[in-house]
Chains A and B, each alone.
Chain A
Amino acid sequence: MTSLVGKSSISLSRIAIYAVLILVCVLYLVPLVVMLLTSFKTPEDIGTGNLLSWPAVVTAIGWVKAWDTVDGYFWNSIKITVPAVLLSTGIGALNGYVLSMWRFRGSQAFFGLLLFGCFLPFQTVLLPMSFTLGKMGLASTTTGLVFVHVVYGLAFTTLFFRNYYVSVPDALVKAARLDGAGFFTIFAKIILPMSTPIVMVCLIWQFTQIWNDFLFGVVFSSGDSQPITVALNNLVNTSTGVKEYNVDMAAAMIAGLPTLLVYVVAGKYFVRGLTAGAVKG
């Protein structure tokens, strides 16, 4: 039976579909291939002009140079991203728990107002935020950037968790209260263990947002506290000397690898978590 289906499916239309799909895949992958090939070429090799040619000499010199330049900024990004992601996810989970299961007078209005945070463009908060950071003594520090990203991310993480917890039956919390559990015990022992999919969504979302952020990084940091996105921009936009495309490409790859890694590790939860609420309806 299966072989019959298999045979009949190799039709002309099937071949056409696969041809188109493969073509689109190739088109999509070309920039990545160019980046990879270029990063392993010597500057002279790049000078000869063919983007897609195989490197005449495969060399890692571009990667070594790139790492030497962005090394410190890479760790800055880690120092900013990891605490900011964990804090915003943790506080968002607690917010969502309160807004869906411990409703108070005006909590719906509060949630509505919080949602505005999702629609606020980055640019509008730049000035007030730099004022606040200055007053707090956190201007131009990685700690300051952690603060900015936590505050800005809370609207999103709260929304994620609140919408996930709305579909959790109230009776669970009632039963736990009768069992004698308090606010934080219920959260830690019952609600949080149920939250794996949405925690994954939140981690990926926040990691991608914060790691890839350029605007906050360029405005609220300087010199040694800059994240890798800003360092990459500085590297690529230097006007002195010969353009070293192999170094640029390698540095761009280094800047992009962590987000790629997060997607590979937790990606399957991302799709599952985003659609979980929708299916339950």
Chain B
Amino acid sequence: MATLELRKVNKTYGPGLPDTLKNIELKIKEGEFLILVGPSGCGKSTLMNCIAGLENITGGEILIDETDISGMSPKDRDIAMVFQSYALYPTMSVRENIEFGLKIRKMAPAAIDEEVSRVAKLLQIEHLLNRKPGQLSGGQQQRVAMGRALARRPKIYLFDEPLSNLDAKLRVEMRTDEVDAPASENHHRLRDPRSDRGHDPGR
């Protein structure tokens, strides 16, 4: 649960180049859900990368819970992101993929086990835990990627076109799940602010 605020955020990729982001002002309250829509190349991904800390901003402030985080490294921002390509670690099993972030944050082994089974149950991937990402279908991979984000219980979720690799029918299913699944377990999950963006204006 957190608030996210952007104040006059600017981003250029070098002196003399046009502004990619120009004076972005944004305020997302606790539990809100924001969707970014726009033509390709308008800076949606750049904005998300800046919020996550994968790219540095060249001006302005990004605040989470009233604290300026724009100078922090990605790992200190407590943000989880689901990528368009899912970016599952190919040599690790599903379980190891979900555990990875928790292990790095030095969580106790018992707590990790508990968290993995909670997430696996939530997303119905319990039977897949020992498989490698290459042995999963697109929809299954997508759920694992979401599981990886959910397991960390971050302050903010970012979804970068997470549905664009799925076919239309599965997309509708996952769209419902994305909102419902975290909520059905513990109510406050739904109230996390999310930045989300999709190609499909129908969502």
Query: CB within 8 Å of A: which residues of B?
Result: 49, 52, 54, 73-75, 79-81, 83-87, 89-92, 100-101, 104-105, 148, 152
Q: In whole Å, how far is B97's beta carbon from the nearest beta carbon of chain A?
A: 9
Who on chain B is nearest to A174 by CB?
A: B54
Q: CA separation between A190 and B80, bound complex, in Å?
A: 18
Residue in B49, B85, B104, B148 whose CB lies within 8 Å of A169: B85
- Determine the main DSSP class of A at the interface with B: helix
Q: In whole Å, how far is B106's beta carbon from the nearest beta carbon of chain A?
A: 9
Residues of A within 8 A of B54 (CB): 174, 177-178
Which 9 residue pairs across A and B have the least CB separation, nearest first?
A179-B101, A171-B87, A180-B75, A193-B91, A175-B87, A180-B104, A171-B83, A177-B74, A172-B87
Q: In whole Å, how far is A261's beta carbon from the nearest beta carbon of chain B?
A: 28
Residues of A within 8 A of B91 (CB): 190, 193-194
Q: Does A82 contact B (CB under 8 A)?
A: no
Residues of A within 8 A of B81 (CB): 174-175, 178
Interface mask (A173-193 → B, CB under 8 Å = 1, otherwise 0)? 011111111100100011001
Q: CA separation between A179 and B101, bound complex, in Å?
A: 4
> Besides the contacts A174-B87, A176-B89, what 11 more A-B pairs have beta carbons closer than 8 Å?
A169-B87, A175-B81, A175-B148, A176-B100, A177-B75, A178-B54, A179-B152, A180-B104, A180-B105, A190-B92, A194-B90
Q: CA separation between A189 and B79, bound complex, in Å?
A: 21
Query: CB within 8 Å of B: which residues of A?
Result: 169, 171-172, 174-182, 185, 189-190, 193-194
Q: CA separation between A174 and B55, bound complex, in Å?
A: 10
Residues of A within 8 A of B90 (CB): 194
Residues of A within 8 A of B84 (CB): 171
Residues of A within 8 A of B73 (CB): 177
Q: CA separation between A169 and B89, bound complex, in Å?
A: 11
Give 28 A-B contacts (CB < 8 Å), ordered by A residue: A171-B83, A172-B87, A174-B49, A174-B54, A174-B83, A174-B87, A175-B83, A175-B89, A175-B148, A176-B89, A176-B100, A177-B73, A177-B75, A178-B52, A178-B54, A178-B74, A178-B75, A178-B79, A178-B80, A179-B101, A179-B152, A180-B104, A181-B100, A181-B104, A189-B89, A190-B92, A194-B90, A194-B91
